[in-house]
């Protein structure tokens, strides 16, 4: 099986975005807001680098919280080099050792995704690091998942998307992929979403669940 990972918030931890102000809960909100404006772009046939969405969301959050705006560039540098979740490396090793093929599909774009994974020390695990650049749209638009399948030369039924975001799980499921949700906050899955095929509270738990022979 090919296991296709989301990047930001799934493998690297966005909490580091708030380090310049010592506000660890800032990053998750910034990432969610950036995904929101990127989805608006996808729906209205506009495309710009995801870093612009991150910067816009970050600046809005800084102003809303009345934080020091002069640290914006410092936070953007941190956003481009997020640390991995503590269990990410071992979980990826477990999955690869079980014979699964590993890849990434990120809204950040392929080059940014490679830099982020390299900074986190995770890039060597993946046979492909895919961005949405070629389709000029953003997940969860169906075109992004179709592009990933074409790039991987795989049928949807042979690919499982792993994400910590319900919107990504739902988008992938509607595109025909199998899905797994990393539910770090023990939240109920939305009744209007598409429930995942697998669910785990951490990457480590998911790796243990999927660590048998690939299927």
The whole model's pTM is what?
0.95
User: Model confidence over 141-174: pLDDT tens digits?
Assistant: 999 999 999 999 999 999 999 999 999 999 999 9
The whole-angstrom separation of Cα 162 and Cα 172 is: 9
- Look at 211 and 118; give whichever has higher pLDDT: 118
Structure tokens at 144: 């992004």
Three-state DSSP string of the chain: CEEEECCCCCCECHHHHHHHHCCCCHHHHHHHHHHHHHHHHHHCCCCCCHHHHHHHHHHHHHHHHCCCHHHHHHHHHHHCCCCECCCHHHHHHHHHHCCCEEEEEECCCHHHHHHHHHHHCCHHHCCEEEECHHHCCCCCCHHHHHHHHHHHCCCHHHEEEEECCHHHHHHHHHCCCEEEEECCCCCCCCCCCCCCCEEECCHHHHHHHHCCCCC
Residue among 210, 181, 176 nearest 195 (CA): 181
Q: Which residue has the tokens 């199998």?
A: 178
The whole-angstrom separation of Cα 110 and Cα 122 is: 14
User: Model confidence over 168-209: pLDDT tens digits?
Assistant: 999 999 999 999 999 999 999 999 999 999 999 999 999 999
What local confidence, expressed as pLDDT, does residue 211 receive?
81
Residue 212 — pLDDT band, cuts 50, 70, 90? low
Q: Which residue has the tokens 């929101």?
A: 36
Residue 214 — pLDDT band, cuts 50, 70, 90? very low
Backbone angles phi, psi at 89, to 5 degrees: -60, -50
- Section 114-123 average pLDDT: 97
């Amino acid at each position: 099986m090919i296991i296709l990972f989301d990047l930001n918030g799934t493998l690297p931890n966005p909490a580091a975005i708030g380090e310049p102000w010592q506000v660890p809960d800032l990053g998750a909100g910034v990432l969610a807001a950036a995904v929101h404006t990127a989805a608006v772009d996808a729906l209205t046939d506009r495309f710009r680098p995801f870093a612009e969405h991150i910067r816009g969301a970050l600046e809005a959050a800084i102003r809303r919280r009345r934080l020091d705006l002069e640290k914006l560039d410092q936070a953007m540098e941190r956003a481009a080099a997020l640390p991995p979740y503590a269990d990410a490396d071992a979980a990826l090793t477990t999955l690869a050792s079980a014979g699964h093929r590993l890849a990434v599909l990120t809204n950040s774009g392929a080059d940014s995704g490679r830099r982020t994974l390299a900074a986190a020390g995770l890039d060597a695990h993946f046979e492909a690091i895919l961005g949405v650049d070629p389709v000029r749209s953003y997940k969860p638009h169906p075109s992004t998942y179709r592009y990933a399948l074409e790039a991987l030369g795989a049928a949807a039924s042979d690919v499982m998307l792993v994400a910590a975001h319900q919107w990504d799980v739902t988008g992938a499921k509607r595109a025909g992929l199998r899905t797994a949700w990393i539910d770090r906050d023990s939240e109920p899955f939305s009744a209007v979403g598409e429930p995942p095929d697998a669910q785990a509270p951490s990457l480590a738990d998911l790796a243990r669940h999927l660590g048998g022979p690939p299927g």
